[in-house]
Amino acid sequence: MGRREEAAAGAAEAPGAGTPRTLLPGATIGVLGGGQLGRMMALSGSAMGYRFVALDPAQDAPCGQVTPQITAAYNDRDAARELAQRADVITYEFENVDAGVAALLTEESYVPQGSALLYTTQHRLREKAAIEAAGVPVAPYRKVGSLAELEAAAAELGLPCVLKTATGGYDGKGQAVIRRPEELAAAFRQVAPGAAAPAPQASGAAASPDSPGAAEAKDAAEARPHAPELVLEKFIAFQCEISVIAARSASGEVKSFPPAENIHVDNILHLSIVPARVPEEIQRRACELAEQIVSGMDAVGLLAVEMFVTEDGELFVNELAPRPHNSGHYTMDACVTSQFEQHVRAICNLPLGDTTLLTPVVMVNVLGQHLEGAIQAACSADEESNRLGVSPKLHIYGKTESKTGRKMGHINLLCKDTGDGLAWVEQTNLWRN
Ligand SMILES: Nc1ncnc2c1ncn2[C@@H]1O[C@H](COP(=O)(O)OP(=O)(O)O)[C@@H](O)[C@H]1O
Ligand SMILES: [Mg+2]
């Protein structure tokens, strides 16, 4: 039996997450989501001989430019069923997969990552509980469902704190830093706007311009029959933020990539610096913690683990992402194995690849406002990179519309010392706006 038939025959035998199954090159990987992560996964997996099919609502999505695409909404059951039929194994590039679709895919196809990992990482409180259950520290936190609970939680934890929605936040959206007690009510209104609406007035008092009228308040209350689910976290005065991408294969092999030091601007990742500028002992510990979490959760595939490093070298895990992560893009040019190849290996149950770092690297994100200049800089004769000994590797995602703040690509700056990569970013002058 040829490799492809072997892979396909395996696919017919055991549906669901069940027993680990090895899928050899020639098998088809179905990806829920057709953005840049799916695209880079498909480019990397295609090089190994896998086939891909992506599901995405946007015509000509980044992944659809390099692989066949089913164009439909993410929660379209028929489209999900088609994806299941066309693929031998299913993965996803984002964690907010509709629960019904996740269940359908698990039933009708092979989803080695299962749906429990999604269920956990879609919700900050469940996620923190899972991290703690793996024996790994998170910032002190409290569950919050009302302004009164927020006040009580803030009194217990002490300010400053960060209030976050339990679900749906990204790039700093759905959260507010609270430094003084007077800011509690405003933060609650900002993070849980519907829940903060005042109870409908019986008569008289006019609604303030920014509070809904009685009918709207009722609509809002009906649309949100439950208390909002929020989490209040102690603000960690971190020395820096790092992340570790760990992988676990379907049969339980675990490996992690070297930690990246991450610098955010306006809550969007700007730079990843590798090696991270923290002592080696902390880097080792960070990898251990990430591996502990990925094992403790029985996760399959990649798990990105974001952490805070305090002045005295303590580590707190901030959040998880069960997929390739922006802070792991540096691996594409700087490690023996890229995070995308590693994800494919993990879900297809191949031995995991070597994660050794081959060279220091600085990854800089290219947002909409940087796109033209970054292409210019990376594609023209560049004396600065020669002088600094920096090799810029350009990755552009093929998004049809460029917008301010939208991730359009990234550049991996391979260098002898990360200081030289950082100097290149400074000198190209593109990232100042
Ligand atoms: N408890 C905290 N203490 C200090 N800074 C925090 C805390 N929580 C979040 N932040 C800051 O806000 C950023 C975004 O928060 P995060 O929880 O990672 O949400 P997102 O889903 O938007 O990435 C973090 O990268 C960090 O810089
Ligand atoms: Mg984050």
| Ligand 1 atom closest to the CA of 171, numbered from 1 | 22
Distance 170 CA to ligand 2 centre (A): 7
> From the alpha carbon of 174, which atom of ligand 1 is closest?
22
The single residue listed with the structure tokens 């790039």 is 171
Counting from 1 in the atom list of ligand 1, the atom nearest the Cα of 172 is 22
**Pocket perturbation via mutation, ligand 1, pick of 121, 162, 320 by most ligand atoms within 8 A of CB:** 162
Check the annotation: does 50 bind a ligand. Answer: no
Task: Record the pTM.
Answer: 0.90
Q: Which of 349, 343, 352 is nearest to 23 (CA)?
A: 349
162 CA → ligand 1 middle, Å = 8
Digitized pLDDT (tens) for each residue of the chain, 433 residues in all = 334 434 433 333 334 456 889 999 999 999 999 999 999 999 999 999 999 999 999 999 999 999 999 999 999 999 999 999 999 999 999 988 988 899 999 999 999 999 999 999 999 999 999 999 999 999 999 999 999 999 999 999 999 999 999 998 888 899 999 999 999 999 999 999 877 444 444 333 333 333 333 334 434 444 445 689 999 999 999 999 999 999 999 999 999 999 999 999 999 999 999 999 999 999 999 999 999 999 999 999 999 999 999 999 999 999 999 999 999 999 999 999 999 999 999 999 999 999 999 999 999 999 999 999 999 988 888 788 999 999 999 999 999 999 999 999 999 999 999 999 999 999 988 888 6
Name the residue of 159, 318, 365 whose CB sits within 8 Å of the most ligand 1 atoms, as the mutation to test its pocket. 318
